[in-house]
Amino acid sequence: MPGIWQGIRAYPTLLRIGLAEAVAYRAEMLVWMLTTTMPLVNMALWSTVATGRRLGPEGLSGGDLVVYFLLTLIVRLLTGSWVLWEMNQEIRGGAMSQRLLRPVHPILAYSAENLAAIPLRGLLVLPICAGLLLLSGQGRLTSDPVLIGAALVSLPGAWALTFLSMVLCGALAFYIESSLALFQIWMGTYALLSGYMVPLSLLPAGVRGVAEALPFRYMLDFPVKLMMGFPQADGRPVTHGLVLLHLGIEYAYVVALLVAVGLLWRAGLRRYAAFGA
Amino acid sequence: MRLVRYIRLLGLQVRMSLLLGMQYRWDFLTQGLMQILWMALSLLPLWVAFRARAGGGDIEAAQIGDWGIYGALVVYGVFWLLRAVLEGVINPSLGAVVEHIRKGTLDFMLLKPADAQFLVSTARFAPWHMIDGLAALALLSFAIVRHGQVSGQGPPGLPQVLAAAGIFVCGVAILYAVWVLVICAAFYVVKLDNLSYLFTSVFDFARWPRSVFRGALHVVFTYVIPLVVMTSYPADALRGQLGPWQAAWSVLWAGVMLALSRWVWQRAIARYTSASS
């Protein structure tokens, strides 16, 4: 397919444009950045709940929860995406038509904008978090090189899952008029099932089972757990085979989402054209 | 008579929104049901917190700070009621203003022979939020009755209910004023729709009883961003634990915020140059 090749050739330029845009809309950037600091409130909240008590089957203490939520903040900064929000606006407002006229596939363009914004987003908050983590993470972070490597490998997958699932929801905006509700549903499900609001190990068994089967956990919970040494419910250290298995599942989800996005996008585009837009 | 004219105008605007809402009857029902489902789902973190706190023991006896689960449920009910007001009354109209400013259509509002702030604040209502408002009231009533039974206080008397309603109105006023301030920021920085998103994600923490916020966070959420005033104080009033100071503080905050938002709105309007100039 010539389109993809063109896209890959244009990608470095797209990244530069994305960075320039991110710098241009600094105010917007700052607001997104403030939004991503919400795990700090969750952190305070759950460490209150954990005062004088250890929570859940893993026996999370207040200190564990502090490290946990700092890590979720870092992972979210590195892998977060707002593409659903933007797509929504552009499909409703008609700006999508202009995007479609360009020779680069819109999804590629979106991903470039998204990736280019990550360094700027991390610039402010990341050093602070890393510092806090060094202070409070003593003995709670893994030192196993395999787990650290796995965590690094899982991050691009986490980003891809977040991005693709958002594009999938965004593509539904071709079918459903009020897709802002979709954004809320996505955010809500994500908050509950990815470990963003509650560490997954604290969920009741049934819900936990659902959360662990769905791709949401690989967006946040999985990389965070890896960095914390992937504690198991029975207290034994995690085997490397299990880590590999989870990485495999994560990337299988990425591929599945990629296929789903491809199909839905093409079908949705036909409908969009039919609107006369 | 100015007042009579404005009340009639309000009636007209409400009727228009109702007619519009009734055109999409399916939306009305599905949206309402979705909201209730959502409400039930988002109870999960609260329940998880108390369950973890109980550590396998009696969940009704578990406490976070001095709040039991039914007290927290009262806060939760107030939160959802407030959210229904926000999403049903405040958000639909004020959310559209940002769009008006960007497209330049705010000019049409300003040309009309009535107060512009009044017009933009009452332009649109989302009637289906009546459904989740009612559900929130039901939850609230159940929780306060149960709380009375568990703590041996009995159900709240009329003075408590009136006080709670008064504080609740103050909370609505604060919420409205903050929203107007957010809108005013859009006059200065045009691309700022995500500010509303930041606002909602902060507001989401209002669902927790005030005892989960300690130290600096408690100060921030009581005095700077008065989330505690909005949801925990009405619950306090219902439990008969609201001191005169706290009541005075709520009324003072509401008055100051309303005056401030009015002042900033007028300044912003004076500075507004419309999209074409």
Report the half-sphere exposure of A145 (CA within 13 A, side-chain side): 0
Given pLDDT bands bounded at 50, 70 and 90, which one contains residue B166? very high
Q: Residue A28 is nearest to which of B31, B65, B191, comparing CB atoms?
A: B191
Res. B98: pLDDT tops 90: no
> For residues B43 and A124, what is the distance between their CA atoms, to the nearest angstrom?
33
Q: Mind telling me how many Å the CA of B98 is from chain A's nearest CA?
A: 13
Distance CA A142, CA A225 (A): 9
A148/A135 Cα distance (integer angstroms): 19
Looking at the complex, report in whole angstroms how far the Cα of residue A27 sits from the nearest Cα belonging to chain B.
8
To the nearest whole Å, the CA of B112 is away from the closest chain A CA by 26
Q: Which helix (H) or strand (E) holds B195?
A: helix B194-203
What is the pLDDT confidence band of residue A277, given thresholds at 50, 70 and 90? very low
Please answer yes or no on whether A28 and B194 come within 8 Å at the CB atom: yes
Assign A179 a pLDDT band (cuts: 50, 70, 90). low
Say which of B194, B198, B208 has its CB closest to residue A45. Answer: B208
Q: Is the pLDDT of residue B150 over 90?
A: no
* pLDDT at position A236: 74
* Cβ contacts of A5-9, under 8 Å, gap ≥ 24: A6/A103, A6/A104, A7/A104, A7/A105, A7/A108
- The model's pTM is 0.82
pLDDT at A257 over 90: yes
Token pair, residue A206, equals 């049934």
Q: What is the mean pLDDT of residues A257-261?
A: 92
CB contact under 8 A, A44 and B197: no
Question: Which chain B residue has its CA at the smallest distance from A55's CA?
Answer: B52
Chain A residues touching residue B211 (CB < 8 angstroms): 48
Shortest CA gap B12–chain A (Å): 25
At B16-71, the pLDDT tens digits run 888 877 777 776 777 777 778 888 888 888 888 888 888 777 878 788 878 888 88
Give the separation between CA B210 and CA B175, rounded to whole angstroms: 18
The rounded mean pLDDT for chain A is 82
pLDDT at B261: 92
The answer to whether the CB atoms of A34 and B198 lie below 8 A apart is yes
Complex confidence, ipTM: 0.75
What lies within 8 Å, CB to CB, of B26 at 6+ separation is none
Residue A55 DSSP code: B
Nearest to A105 by CA among A205, A18, A10, A21: A10
Other Cβ atoms less than 10 A from the Cβ of B181: the count is 17
Q: What is the mean pLDDT of residues B180-205?
A: 77
Instruction: Please name which of A180, A209, A172, A181 lies closest in space to residue A193, comparing C-alpha atoms.
Output: A209
Checking if the pLDDT of B173 tops 60, the result is yes
Q: Give tens-digit pLDDT for A136-146.
A: 877 788 888 88
Confidence of residue A2 (pLDDT cuts 50, 70, 90): low
Residues of chain B positioned with their CB less than 8 A from the CB of A35: 194, 197-198, 201
Whether the pLDDT of residue A182 is over 80: the answer is: no
In this structure, are residues A257 and A164 in contact, taking their beta carbons and an 8 Å threshold? Answer: yes
Place of tokens 């919970």: A221
Distances (CA, A) of B66 to A65, B163, B209: 22, 21, 10
